[in-house]
Amino acid sequence: MLTETTIFRGAFWFSIGALFERVMFFILPIFIAPLGPASLGIFYISLRVFHGIVAFPTNALNILYTGTLRKYIQDPKSLKFEETAAFLLKAYFITGMLIGIFLFILILVISPIKSLAYLSLAIPFAMANSYMMRLLQLLQRFKKIFIIQAVFIFLFQIIYLTIFIKILDMGIGAAFAGQLLMAVLITITAGIFIFDRLNLLGFFQKLSLKIFTLSKLSFANLLFITFNPILDIVLVGILFGFSTLGHYIVLLYLPLLMHKIPTALFGMFIHVATVKTHNNEDITQISKQVFKWILILTIPLFVAIMLYPSDILSILFHKTYVKDLEITRLLAVSFFVQSLSWTAERILIAKNKKVLRVVSNYIFGFVFILFAFSLASVFGLFGIALAFLISSIIDVFVKYFLAIKKTKVFFISIDHLKILAAGGISSLVSYILFLKNPFLFLSFFVIIYFAILWIVGIINKQSLFDFKKMVVKEVGIEEEPAYD
């Protein structure tokens, strides 16, 4: 039976799973980059589009039916959970199969890159996997979730890419095939893990298009969270071609890493904040705590990217990719400020300000597209990065204003200014002493940085205890919010 504790534990493990997936997303370009910038561009944009195609119907079904499954599972004597779980698995898989078959035929007929067919065949399995992982979460089988994520999402891909890309040099076709194989293996494994809770009668229930009925607001939100993550790379691909796109992906690599890893670690924040809101509790303190830890983790990465992008990228990629590094620095600033808008957006979600959240997101998307086309024609790839910075700054102001004005949650405090000051002082001292030695600079910076945070009381025994409470505190949610 679900309790507040187990629901939040599921949210926490889902955040860990998101971390595995995001780390793997950063490892993939390292394996594909030696094949050339054009191959990297083709592979990366194909994979991002693939995940977007999977995410759209999956998120729609998650929004509509996760709450229903939670309600049914509360009654251990009811068969409704087992029947509904089986029915929805059928719905996810058939929906994915129809999309996959359509794209498979389209690729074979008009696409010059036939190996993309592997990704289209992976769509039904990827959709079923997303659902079964959510089902395992509801069934409180967290260790099995971790096994799937660690073994297949991470370890399997590392071994596969090492053999077929690094050693055998079989190209992006083999990489696409690996994605299909991984999806099939996860489907089989997850199916075995949940087989005892599927009532076969559920598979014989008739499907109807009514199961996809969404409000206009939910549909608009789904469109944004599906296509916004690939907006910049699609524009670069359209305006400059796959080869330039491959180069842009390398320049984007470190800033995206700086932003995605900390926010993935605190993906559970939305669940905690939603529960507190449902219970009429103030979420100001938890918002301040989460933003504090995101800043603490982000600043060292930001400093490293701003000062030593060439040294870091040279270790990961071929030297031909290491150029136009001002774009990387510009993107790093953009994603740094995006951490603020990320927190503000999740406060809007928790406070059920759905209209404001969607409107602010579309303002960001519209501003980015407008400036991207205008500046790219003058400054090229640098113009895309500049457009992203401008739209990110506007997005921060809009979301922060809405969060304060409409939710009364003031999540920026003096502690956050102390963290920024600690980062600035540590950078200055390390710069004076060890600028020409990246290893000594970063080592000394980290020591000074965390020492200052400890001295001024930002990190102490109490803050570590509060962090622990965020992980184990008994909280739960009644409705699954849509978030990326």
Whole-number pLDDT of residue 475: 36
pLDDT tens string 231-246 = 999 999 999 999 999 9
User: Do residues 40 and 29 make contact, with C-beta atoms less than 8 angstroms apart?
Assistant: yes
Is pLDDT at 29 greater than 50 in this prediction?
yes
In order of 1, 22, 290, 426, 476, the CA distances from 26 in angstroms are: 37, 7, 24, 28, 31
CB atoms within 10 A of CB 308: 18
In order of 273, 336, 428, 454, the CA distances from 289 in angstroms are: 12, 17, 26, 16
Whole-number pLDDT of residue 467: 57
User: Do residues 439 and 311 make contact, with C-beta atoms less than 8 angstroms apart?
Assistant: no
- The tokens describing 123, both together, are 């769509």
Is pLDDT at 297 greater than 50 in this prediction?
yes
Torsion angle of C-alpha atoms 90, 91, 92, 97, degrees rounded to 10: 80
How would residue 9 be classed by pLDDT, with cut points 50, 70 and 90? low
DSSP structural state of residue 117? H
Is pLDDT at 393 greater than 90 in this prediction?
yes
**77 phi, psi to nearest 5 deg:** -90, -10
How would residue 481 be classed by pLDDT, with cut points 50, 70 and 90? very low
Task: Read off the pTM.
Answer: 0.85
DSSP structural state of residue 206? P
CA dist 301 and 26 (Å) reads 15
Is pLDDT at 472 greater than 50 in this prediction?
no
User: Do residues 296 and 419 make contact, with C-beta atoms less than 8 angstroms apart?
Assistant: yes
CA 321 to chain centre: 25
Least confident of 96-100, 212-216, 364-368: 212-216
pLDDT tens string 190-209 = 999 988 877 777 777 777 76
Mean pLDDT in residue range 325-342: 94
pLDDT tens string 50-81 = 988 888 888 888 777 776 777 777 665 667 78
Q: What is the DSSP string of 212-245?
A: G---HHHHHHHHHHHHGGGHHHHHHHHHH-HHHH
Is pLDDT at 478 greater than 50 in this prediction?
no
Q: Is 230 exposed, middle or buried (0-12, 13-18, 19+ CB in 10 A)?
A: middle
pLDDT tens string 243-291 = 999 999 999 989 988 998 888 777 777 777 877 887 788 888 889 988 9
Mean pLDDT in residue range 157-177: 92
CA dist 468 and 35 (Å) reads 44
Q: What is the mean pLDDT of the chain?
A: 85
Is pLDDT at 146 greater than 90 in this prediction?
no
CB atoms within 10 A of CB 428: 12
DSSP structural state of residue 458? S
Is pLDDT at 110 greater than 80 in this prediction?
yes
pLDDT tens string 398-456 = 999 999 999 998 989 999 999 999 999 999 999 888 878 888 999 999 999 999 999 98
Whole-number pLDDT of residue 466: 60
pLDDT tens string 301-316 = 999 999 999 999 998 8
Q: Give exposure, 13-31, as e/b (b: 16+ Cβ within 10 Å).
A: bbbbbbbbebbbbeebbbb
What percent of the chain has pLDDT above 70?
Answer: 89
Higher-confidence position of 86 and 332: 332
Closest C-alpha to 412, from 421, 423, 403, 425: 403
Handedness of CA 316, 318, 321, 326 (dihedral sign): positive
Higher-confidence position of 392 and 223: 392
How would residue 10 be classed by pLDDT, with cut points 50, 70 and 90? low
How would residue 140 be classed by pLDDT, with cut points 50, 70 and 90? confident
CA dist 18 and 26 (Å) reads 13
How would residue 118 be classed by pLDDT, with cut points 50, 70 and 90? very high
